[in-house]
Structure 1
Amino acid sequence: MRLLFAHDNRFIRLGDDVWSAGQFGAEGWQRYLDHASRMTVVAREQLMPDQPLDQLARSSRDRVAFHFFRDLSNLRGLLLRRSAALDEMRTLVRAHDAVVARMPSEIGHLAVAAARIERKRCWVEIVGCPSESLRHHGGLRARFYAPLAAARLRAVSRRAEHASYVTADFLQRRYPTGATNVLSVSDVLLPASDIRVLQDRLVRIAAQPADAPLKIGMIGALQNKNKGLQVLLHALARVRDRMPPVRLRVVGQGDLDAWRNVAQSLGLGDLTVFEGNIAQPADVFGWLRSIDLYVQPSLTEGLPRALIEAMCQACPAIGSSAGGIPELLPGPDLVAPGNANALGELLARRVADPSWMARSAQRNWEKAQSFETSVLEPVRQAFWQRFLAGA
């Protein structure tokens, strides 16, 4: 089977290789290549990387081709280039047997429309809420467009024959589907749990010296404010004087100098470290084992893979109640999105409570086992079989 995968992700072409700063490393294509003879990734191109090459993941590999579209994620693109882009997408879709449209994305919408016209099998992957994402993006045009973006995705999900969600409930309620073939599992890839990870964490919590800085960690894309880093910085600034020594470590790509300036303006420049992107999964897990508390302060979410990965490394964790995060963390460990005062108070209480740290570590490690590949893969395979059969 020849598969076309469509999404708005930006990839970086350097010579003969294609790279990504996000989640689309070469190993991530394997779940599709297990069922397809080859695939074409249709996405956007970023001309220059924002970070060193060693912080990027190689996306190119055998049996995977890339086709880059001009940016349609703005008003000019939607109004002036959509017709020509649809013709281009139809040509691509004709050369493939099936389409996977990762949503929300404008390129995904094009792929769905082209698949319908060309009568090709189409799977809609719903991984986020465009209404929340655009509402918090910052621009007036984005906030104005947010209700329309949500309505467009609801229309696509209702008409889909094959649909998948990364949440168990949140996105399904926002964007219900009439599909006969539905998958509701995270796209995270977790290894088998190791009891030694939990044991080491509990020993560290019990032995934490009172004067040793607690390492607070966060992972997220920093090109905009959706992941809530600004909320975490303001929260930490409010309660810093009431907390034991801490150090904030942030992983993610974006304008790190601008974020350093924000931290400096809040008096946090001496305790905040921006570490750039970490490309390899094994290195991410190692980094998560090195921190003491993970925070997911997002303004908008689907189901954050970074939080699940932190949980599998037995990280105590708190976060906002955005998107599917309440499916992962209990209510007492959550605050309303954007509420820096509440997040600061929760942060101050949790880091001062070793017994909570131990309970959270154990609970999260146990919860993460339900996301291990050995648990989710049979469910994914059943969905794939129905998709391949066209049921």
Structure 2
Amino acid sequence: MRIVIATEAQFHRTEDGRVLAPDSALGYAAWVHYLGVFDQILIAARVTRRSAQGAAGLPVEGPGVRVLPLPAYQGIGGYLRRRGALSAAVRQAVAEHRGTAADTTAFLALVPGLVGTALTRELNRQGLPFGLEVVGDVAEVLADRRIVSAAAGRMLARQCQQARAVSYVTRTVLQGRYPARADVPTVSCPRVRLEEEDFVAGSRPAPDGWGAVGARHPHPARTVRLLTIGSQERTYKGHDVLVDAVALMRSEGLRPEVTIVGDGRHHDEIVRRAAAHGLGDTVRFVRRLGSRPEVRAALDATDVFVLPSRTEGLPRVLVEAAARALPAVASAVGGVVEILPPRDLVPPDQPRRLAESLTDLIASPDRYAAASERNLATAREYSLDRLRPIRLSFHRTLREITVSADGSDATGRHSHAPAGSLAGPGR
């Protein structure tokens, strides 16, 4: 059996036919785990054309994994202009791959997202069952547009009520906001893949010389190193907030070194913001880290990880930082509140609160050491060995639901009898 997966990710196809993911988390390794249950993975995603010389990223396609290219667009305006073409492409993909009793296709939508919504709309139209992976909160994503946010939230809630199986990246946060029907199997399974090599052996103490003269005026013996990693295609990751917070820290006499890893439409804008604050000697920009070893090396070379996001599902990079026993300060959004304690959380879009929390962490060696130990223990809860059986159980349930869907009712709609419960946290 094959599975068609709709994702909001955008890939690049080069002149020589390769399909590349700009984010290392979306390369081939991110999709092969579905092959534990399904024979072929078909990824329905937007694809743009890039020259082989100018393209960078990790290959997406490989044995058992192929991309179904959809029309590319950027933002809501681009979507509205290409909505008809997107719907037609999704309709064609379903028609070509829906399969027969002897050659069945399962369907899975990663939501929220316009591509996932296009797929679920078409599947509902045809009365075909589907599963969902709920990877974020659309209400947070669109918080600055209240009417649109409310409508999108209702759409996601409706999708969760229509799905035949639902996987959430959080333990309770997204489940509470967008519940599935009571008779539908659900799991809590973050899109995180932490293998043993991703963990350090033990926690880290505060760097030598860290301490304070007064509660708000730390004077570390060496420069404090901060790191954040995230896409700059949109402003969700709050890199502008971190730049503003660092400017405030400098005004208080603390001069951290900051590395911001990310690329996308807003990259140049964030660079200009740092320059306007006079942070050219303080903030270093790295467009991408091409491999997991490079990510681990960057985490090991820093003192504090910062995630000033405006919205999150369950941030993979924060769990990866925790696996390196790295203390962190992050916005209290989405599943972040399930990873960090309240003391290490700040409201989104508040650079002064972020600067204060970072300063207080640097001023307290005991708090730093405790955060390192706690984060490493938390990361162990997301190890591949613990998540693999939950993930496989969800995939098997989705497969069973698809196979049994031939028994539709008189209206042609498939019945909603539960396909069995799934073991795992969150249900």
**1:374 Cα deviation after fit:** 0.6
- The whole-number CA distance in structure 1 between the counterparts of 2:113 and 2:272 is 31
3-state SS of 1:46 partner: strand
CA contact (8 A) 1:93 1:120 kept: no
Aligned to 1:21: 22
Pairing of 1:290-305 with structure 2 (within 5 A): 290-305=301-316
Structure 1 residue runs without a partner (length 5+): 137-141
Aligned to 2:129: 121
- The whole-number CA distance in structure 1 between the counterparts of 2:78 and 2:28 is 32
Aligned letter for 1:70?
P
CA contact (8 A) 1:192 1:374 kept: no
- The whole-number CA distance in structure 1 between the counterparts of 2:85 and 2:13 is 24
CA deviation map 1:104-153 (0-9, x unaligned): 111111211222333433111110111211235xxxxx554222111111
My pick for the range that moved more, 374-383 or 80-89, is 80-89
- The whole-number CA distance in structure 2 between the counterparts of 1:343 and 1:53 is 35
Pairing of 1:150-165 with structure 2 (within 5 A): 150-165=153-168
CA contact (8 A) 1:206 1:354 kept: no
Residue of 296, 310, 322 corresponding to 2:333:
322
CA contact (8 A) 1:251 1:274 kept: yes
Aligned letter for 1:103?
V
Residue of 37, 40, 49 corresponding to 1:47:
49
3-state SS of 2:279 partner: coil
My pick for the range that moved more, 323-332 or 375-384, is 375-384
CA deviation map 1:187-222 (0-9, x unaligned): 1000137875425x33x7347794321110001111
User: Larger Rg: 1 or 2?
Assistant: 2
Pairing of 1:1-391 with structure 2 (within 5 A): 1-14=1-14, 15-22=16-23, 23-48=25-50, 53=55, 56-71=57-72, 74=76, 77-78=79-80, 82=83, 85-94=86-95, 95-96=97-98, 97-136=105-144, 144-178=147-181, 180-192=184-196, 196-199=200-203, 201-202=204-205, 205-206=207-208, 210-242=220-252, 244-254=254-264, 255-390=266-401, 391=419
Distance 1:283 1:194, change over 3 A: closer
Q: Give the TM-score of the pair, scaled to structure 2.
A: 0.83
Distance 1:88 1:196, change over 3 A: closer
- The whole-number CA distance in structure 2 between the counterparts of 1:68 and 1:173 is 34
3-state SS of 2:132 partner: strand
My pick for the range that moved more, 310-319 or 178-187, is 178-187
CA contact (8 A) 1:128 1:302 kept: yes
RMSD (Å), alpha carbons: 2.3
Matched positions, count: 381
Distance 1:98 1:282, change over 3 A: same
Aligned to 1:139: none
**1:26 Cα deviation after fit:** 0.6
**1:375 Cα deviation after fit:** 0.9
- The whole-number CA distance in structure 1 between the counterparts of 2:344 and 2:253 is 17
3-state SS of 1:371 partner: coil
- The whole-number CA distance in structure 1 between the counterparts of 2:233 and 2:79 is 20
- The whole-number CA distance in structure 2 between the counterparts of 1:246 and 1:84 is 48
3-state SS of 2:19 partner: strand
CA deviation map 1:207-258 (0-9, x unaligned): 7794321110001111222111111111111122435441001111124332
- The whole-number CA distance in structure 1 between the counterparts of 2:396 and 2:221 is 56
- The whole-number CA distance in structure 1 between the counterparts of 2:283 and 2:314 is 26
Distance 1:195 1:38, change over 3 A: closer
- The whole-number CA distance in structure 2 between the counterparts of 1:256 and 1:323 is 24
Higher RCO structure (Cα 8 Å, ≥6 apart): 2
Give the share of equivalent positions with the same residue, in percent: 28
**1:321 Cα deviation after fit:** 0.6
Which structure has greater helix proportion? 1
**1:71 Cα deviation after fit:** 4.3
3-state SS of 1:205 partner: coil
Aligned letter for 2:195?
P
CA contact (8 A) 1:242 1:348 kept: no
Q: Give the TM-score of the pair, scaled to structure 1.
A: 0.90
CA contact (8 A) 1:239 1:344 kept: yes
- The whole-number CA distance in structure 2 between the counterparts of 1:71 and 1:16 is 17
Aligned to 2:415: none
